[in-house]
């Protein structure tokens, strides 16, 4: 089941989940102790120690989430509430430090390493930035959000599935940071995107994934089949020419662009994890020491991005063809990124 099809918790459940979350952490940690011990024994057979790595990482990430929630409670109980700007800056620090912790533990236990294939350009000073990213493989949302926060120095505003409100840490922190939780059904699902884009500060970046869902071979095949059945042969042919990405859904990107026409636009491609499209493939690839998360970005001034919907749709589709070609060029057999050049930089 896709996250966006899961309904959010009712308000009463949300209020109950938050104070119970540390207790849930204690219970889950206790239940995971036998799994960790079994993973340690299994590591004698599996030299990659995959069960041990996953069990330890799951517990650590749960407690990062609980610590984030506790820090939000501390901010609400403290004196930071004296002004909107200090309140927001304090929560931004919590968010950045949570991203750092998530990346640290994922790198430590799974070998996730973010690398840049070229120098990043972060747009014009004093302007917000719209980042439109490829969506494929595990960890891509986390890695790109962290990269923007730490390398670009711009804290990302994020559009999330409303189902993520079941996580009290995510719900509390990102609600306070005015992120948008896309409703699973009903209401104008683009209204929040427009509102977020319109409210961007000059040093903010709005992170969107125009494909709307993770690329997998099965989703690509289903999309092409659905277009064929609907008589949209031209769109189906364009989708068939895209090997590594799904065709971008223009409405969300255009909602952000039209609400903030002064924002520069960054296109984000990545290679290395897109082929890990199932739990089995992720398990077989672990740990990822020989598989860096390779990132390439292209940044366009606001003046160079079409400001009319039809032209913008054509422009975005052209950018996605560029992303697809780059991924193909930088992916070898097995989905491993090709060797890095001497000018390529390490981001983590």
- Enter the tokens of residue 220: 């690509």
pLDDT digits (tens, 9 = 90+) for 121-133: 888 888 999 999 9
pLDDT-derived band at 344 (thresholds 50, 70, 90) equals very low
Mean pLDDT, residues 161-173 taken together: 92
Q: Which residues contact 141 (CB under 8 A, 6 or more apart)?
A: 135, 158, 209
pLDDT-derived band at 154 (thresholds 50, 70, 90) equals confident
Mean pLDDT, residues 15-31 taken together: 95
| Whether the Cβ atoms of residue 91 and residue 114 lie closer than 8 Å to each other | no
pLDDT digits (tens, 9 = 90+) for 251-283: 999 999 999 999 999 999 999 898 898 899 999
Q: CA-CA distance, 293 to 316, in Å (whole number)?
A: 23
User: Radius of gyration (Cα) for the chain, nearest Å?
Assistant: 21
Q: CA-CA distance, 206 to 191, in Å (whole number)?
A: 14
> What 3-state DSSP class applies to 270?
strand
**CA-to-CA separations, 95 to 152, 183, 186, 275, in angstroms, rounded:** 15, 23, 29, 29
pLDDT of residue 123: 83
- Enter the tokens of residue 140: 């891509």
Say yes or no to pLDDT of 63 above 70. yes
Say yes or no to pLDDT of 151 above 70. yes
The 10 Å CB-count burial string (b at 16+, else e) for 70-83 is ebbeebeeeeeeee
Say yes or no to pLDDT of 231 above 70. yes
pLDDT digits (tens, 9 = 90+) for 284-333: 999 998 889 999 999 999 999 999 999 999 999 999 999 999 999 988 76
| Whether the Cβ atoms of residue 268 and residue 131 lie closer than 8 Å to each other | yes
Say yes or no to pLDDT of 16 above 90. yes
CA diameter of the chain: 60
Say yes or no to pLDDT of 345 above 70. no
pLDDT of residue 8: 83
CA 58 to chain centre: 18
pLDDT-derived band at 341 (thresholds 50, 70, 90) equals very low
By the 10 Å C-beta count (0-12 exposed, 13-18 middle, 19+ buried), 187 is classed as exposed
pLDDT-derived band at 184 (thresholds 50, 70, 90) equals low
Q: CA-CA distance, 152 to 121, in Å (whole number)?
A: 8
The mean of the pLDDT values for the chain is: 88
Say yes or no to pLDDT of 58 above 80. yes
Q: Which of the pair, 24 or 347, is modelled with greater confidence?
A: 24
pLDDT of residue 78: 78
pLDDT digits (tens, 9 = 90+) for 75-121: 988 765 556 778 888 998 999 999 999 999 999 999 999 999 888 88
pLDDT of residue 83: 63
**CA-to-CA separations, 305 to 24, 197, 210, 228, in angstroms, rounded:** 47, 16, 16, 31
CA 63 to chain centre: 20
Say yes or no to pLDDT of 35 above 70. yes
Say yes or no to pLDDT of 26 above 70. yes
Q: Which of the pair, 254 or 163, is modelled with greater confidence?
A: 254
């Amino acid at each position: 089941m896709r996250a966006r099809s899961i309904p959010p918790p009712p308000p009463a459940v949300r209020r109950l989940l938050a104070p119970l979350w540390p207790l849930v952490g204690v219970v889950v940690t206790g239940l995971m102790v036998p799994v960790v011990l079994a993973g340690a024994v299994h590591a004698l057979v599996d030299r990659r120690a995959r069960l041990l790595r996953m069990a330890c990482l799951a517990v650590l990430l749960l407690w990062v989430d609980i610590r984030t929630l506790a820090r939000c409670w501390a901010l609400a109980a403290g004196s930071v509430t004296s002004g909107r700007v200090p309140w927001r800056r304090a929560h931004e620090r919590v968010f950045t430090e949570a991203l750092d912790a998530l990346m640290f533990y994922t790198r430590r236990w799974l070998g996730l390493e973010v690398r840049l294939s070229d120098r990043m350009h972060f747009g014009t000073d004093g302007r917000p930035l719209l980042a439109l990213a490829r969506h494929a493989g595990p960890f891509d949302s986390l890695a790109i959000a962290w990269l923007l926060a730490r390398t670009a120095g711009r804290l990302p505003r994020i559009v999330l599935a409303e189902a993520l409100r079941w996580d009290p840490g995510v719900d509390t922190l990102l609600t306070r940071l005015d992120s948008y939780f896309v409703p699973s059904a009903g209401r104008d699902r683009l209204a929040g995107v427009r509102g977020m884009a319109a409210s961007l500060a000059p040093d903010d970046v709005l992170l969107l994934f125009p494909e709307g869902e993770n690329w997998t071979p099965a989703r690509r095949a289903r999309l092409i089949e659905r277009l064929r059945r609907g008589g949209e042969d031209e769109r189906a042919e364009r989708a068939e020419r895209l090997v590594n990405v799904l065709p971008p859904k223009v409405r969300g990107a255009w909602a952000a662009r039209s609400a903030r026409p002064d924002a520069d636009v960054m296109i984000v491609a990545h290679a290395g994890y897109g082929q890990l499209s199932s739990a089995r493939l992720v398990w077989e690839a672990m740990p990822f020491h020989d598989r860096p998360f390779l990132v390439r970005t292209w940044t366009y001034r606001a003046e160079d991005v079409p400001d009319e919907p039809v032209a913008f749709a054509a422009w975005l589709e052209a950018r996605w063809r560029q992303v697809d070609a780059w991924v193909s060029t930088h992916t070898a057999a097995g989905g491993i990124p090709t060797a890095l050049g001497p000018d390529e930089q390490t981001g983590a």
